[in-house]
Structure 1
Amino acid sequence: MYYQLWNLFLSEDKYSYWKEKVKLLPKFDHFTWQKIIDFLSLAEQNFFLTTQLEKIDSIEAFLLLAKENGYKLTQEALAWFVITRKQIWDLLDTAQKIPSLKEQLLAAKNPQQFIKIAAEHRFHFSVEELAWLLTEVKCSPEFVSLNNSVGEILTASNYGRIEIGYWIWLAEDWGIVPPFCHLHKSDNLVSENIRNPFFLDRCFLPKSYFTQRLMSMV
């Protein structure tokens, strides 16, 4: 999903720099988050665009290609999007490996307490950003391979084994992730706002929800 964004922001020599810089950036909104996802989704469906992205070697080239395809993005927004997602996945991955941290996070009474615990372990993101990512994963029409959501498989980590269901259920209890959601619009839906998963006409569960619940019970 990330294509060259991984090399541009998350390679070993660049990640530390961008991680610190993102802390100083103003917060971006969900519209920006979704716009970047939409562009990357377009690339996944367009072989020619995918080929072009694979050849770029600079942030400027990435931004120009996005603009040529109708998406005006900024370097700061891309950095925020990529670094924030990695921060969240890294926290969940760490919690998977350290039972005491996982128990502490699952015991959080509200999302603010969860974010505070994450920050104490040097993972920085907001309640809104956590909700956007978990909703995105839950909205997947298939049982997703989580390493694909990150964009690359890290040799020191195994995102594919994160039990994401725990975190989705916790976020549901807090009310930051809708209990039913799916972004693919059916022909018989009347709402024009397909980006709001809390609307009643969005209320049908993706297959991944049942799959993850069944897997967690095995």
Structure 2
Amino acid sequence: MYYQLWNFFLKDDEYCDWKEKIKVNNRFNKATWQTINDFFAFVEKNFYLKSQLGETHNLEQFIHLVKENSYNLTSEEFAWFLVTRQQIWMLFDLAQKTPLLKEQLLSAKNPQQFVKIADDYGYYFSVEELAWLLTEIKSFSELVPINNSVGEIISVSNYGKIEIGYWIWLAEEWGLVPPFCHRIQPVNLLSQYVDNPFLPDRCFLPKSYFNQHFVAQTLV
């Protein structure tokens, strides 16, 4: 599904244009981010819709199909979601190839300094957007850290070709990414303190925790 959208947003000319528009006029929030993620999850379960979207020849057709399926999403929202993610991934990729940049980022004293360094290299995103993406990645089943009986951590720390563990650990240290605490989140237990990611209603176990736990036990 992403491949078709790359044609609309992430080819060189389109990417540069949208990147500048987003930097000047970023008015989106976490609810929009989650809605787009929900839409992609819905598409993956609907082969017919996935096929229809894959056959669209322009952005207008794509957005029309999206809205026909009850997702009121705009081209600007998709552009923000995809271009912002692209900038974060490109920064991580560059850091992996550039020891000086990697050292600068890992030495950042707070997330604000981290995004300032990114901006200096031409990658613009907010602290919140960084947190949303890293939390999403940490929830990915293959990245769940599990301790076996001798204290070894069995986990996958690469996302594709990019080493992601450094950035998740840094975000955990800053309190951007919540720890794993319980299987089911309480319903708005302490929702008035939404800025504290370490409170019980903000902690979570990722989708495949117990599968990973089983694998860890079999390796002991």
TM-score, normalising length: structure 1: 0.78
Q: Is the alpha carbon distance of 1:198 and 1:6 closer, same or farther for their aligned partners in structure 2, counting shifts above 3 Å?
A: farther
1:75 CA drift (Å): 1.4
1:131 CA drift (Å): 0.2
The gaps in structure 1 that reach 5 residues or longer are 145-157
Partner amino acid for 2:113? Q
Q: Which aligned pairs between 1:147-186 and structure 2 lie closer than 5 A?
A: 160-180=160-180
Give the match for residue 68 of structure 1. 68
Give the match for residue 191 of structure 1. 186
CA distance in 2 between partners of 1:123 and 1:181 (Å)? 33
* 2:120 is the counterpart of 1:104: no
- Larger Rg computed on CA atoms: 2
Give the match for residue 204 of structure 1. 205
Identity within the alignment, %:
58
CA distance in 2 between partners of 1:19 and 1:169 (Å)? 28
Give the match for residue 38 of structure 2. 38
Q: Is the alpha carbon distance of 1:190 and 1:121 closer, same or farther for their aligned partners in structure 2, counting shifts above 3 Å?
A: closer
Deviates more, 1:36-45 or 1:197-206: 197-206
**1:35-81 superposed Cα distances (whole Å, 9 cap, x missing partner):** 01110111111111110111012221121111111110111111111
Contact 1:4 1:57 in 2 (8 A): no
CA distance in 1 between partners of 2:7 and 2:33 (Å)? 20
Give the match for residue 135 of structure 1. 135
CA distance in 1 between partners of 2:185 and 2:91 (Å)? 39
CA distance in 1 between partners of 2:68 and 2:120 (Å)? 41
Partner amino acid for 2:205? F
**1:87-122 superposed Cα distances (whole Å, 9 cap, x missing partner):** 000000000000111011001010000000000000
Q: Is the alpha carbon distance of 1:175 and 1:21 closer, same or farther for their aligned partners in structure 2, counting shifts above 3 Å?
A: same
Q: Calculate the aligned-residue CA RMSD, in Å.
A: 2.8
CA distance in 2 between partners of 1:181 and 1:6 (Å)? 36
The gaps in structure 2 that reach 5 residues or longer are 145-157, 189-193
CA distance in 1 between partners of 2:62 and 2:105 (Å)? 36
CA distance in 2 between partners of 1:46 and 1:130 (Å)? 29
CA distance in 2 between partners of 1:33 and 1:169 (Å)? 22
Aligned positions, number: 191
Contact 1:131 1:176 in 2 (8 A): yes
Contact 1:43 1:49 in 2 (8 A): yes
